[in-house]
Amino acid sequence: MSMIMKGAEVAKAMKEVLIRETEELKQAGVEPCLTIIRVGARPDDLAYERGAKKRMELVGIRCEVLELPEDISQEEFEQQFRQVNEDPEVHGILLFRPLPSHLNEEPVCQMIHPKKDVDCMSPVNIAKVFSGDETGYAPCTPEAVMKMLEHYQIDISGKKVTVVGRSMVVGKPLAMMLLKKHGTVTICHTRTKDLAATCREAEILVAAAGKAKMISADMVGEGAVVADVGINVDEEGNMCGDVDYESVQETCGYISPVPGGVGSVTTSVLAAHVLRGARGGQTP
């Protein structure tokens, strides 16, 4: 029987620190503020937006939403983005992606002030993650995985770590962050030969492929730590991860559930980034 890594416990531990840091900033005359920029109204974006607003409210961070019409022109989109980017009262910007297909995100990725780039879309912050420089912002989801491992005192150094998925949002940056902590990291993807064997060898296995329950019990080594980043819907219409939780939890050492795992930590990481933005990019 495994130990369950609960996102709510990690978020609770982070909450105390976030509230204290928000208070300190307010006493120094700074009101931390996040602006969410949403184009259109995709259900995924709306769900994340609700969670983010709630988390910011809980810790005392102001959260504004700039809602833009789905058919907005590139020129108008960039103009609106620039206004938020230049607003001295905004310390963090979260842009929901992917954008509608007629819009190009590249100009705003280049434009965003790296210190306001709380979910790592600027090439400056991406380069920092890849070079192991922790002065920038990592994307919130991979950092949430790291927070979870840290909270449950999972030692990464020297361990065999397998990450399934190589997207720029999750898999690749997470692999770099695990490497920074001295894991021996293998990245898997759709062309990986014998995925099962590579997963089975891992002492720490992170699933970020976006395929419902694809990691079965025979792919997980006994006692392994399993972090599930996937958010999928199963045949019954229920939310599930990339890991077949019921069978895998019998033999692994630690496991994060879906829902209630990594996803519950992401908005706390976002809040921590906004506070850092409000301190001009400094860590406390």
Q: Which is nearer to ligand NAP, 34 or 72 (CB)?
A: 34
H helices present in the chain, as ranges: 7-27, 43-59, 74-86, 106-111, 123-131, 140-151, 171-180, 195-201, 245-248, 263-278
Give the shortest CB-205-to-ligand NAP separation in angstroms. 12
Per-residue burial over 151-161, b if 16 or more Cβ lie within 10 Å, else e, is: bbebebeebbb
Closer residue to ligand NAP (CB): 159 or 166: 166
Do the Cβ atoms of 26 and 56 come closer than 8 Å? no
Q: How far is the CB of 7 from ligand NAP (least distance, A)?
A: 9
State the minimum distance, in angstroms, from the CB of residue 27 to ligand NAP: 32
Minimum CB distance to ligand NAP, residue 141 (Å): 4
| Smallest gap from residue 96 Cβ to ligand NAP (A) | 11
Task: Select 82 or 211, whichever has its Cβ closest to ligand NAP.
Answer: 211
Question: Which CB atom, from 136 or from 230, has the smaller least distance to ligand NAP?
Answer: 230
CB-based contact 225:254 (threshold 8 Å): yes
CB of 90 to ligand NAP, least distance (A): 23
Binding site for ligand NAP (CB under 6 A): 141, 164-167, 169-171, 188-192, 195, 208-211, 214, 229-232, 262-263, 266
Give dist(CA 105, CA 83) in Å, integer: 16
Tell me whether strands 239-240 and 232-233 are parallel, antiparallel or unpaired. antiparallel
166/180 with CB nearer ligand NAP? 166
The number of CA neighbours under 13 Å toward the Cβ of 28 is 11
- Comparing CB distances to ligand NAP, the nearer of 25 and 225 is 225
Beta bridge partners of 33: 62
Is the backbone of residue 35 left (phi > 0), alpha (psi -120 to 50) or beta? beta
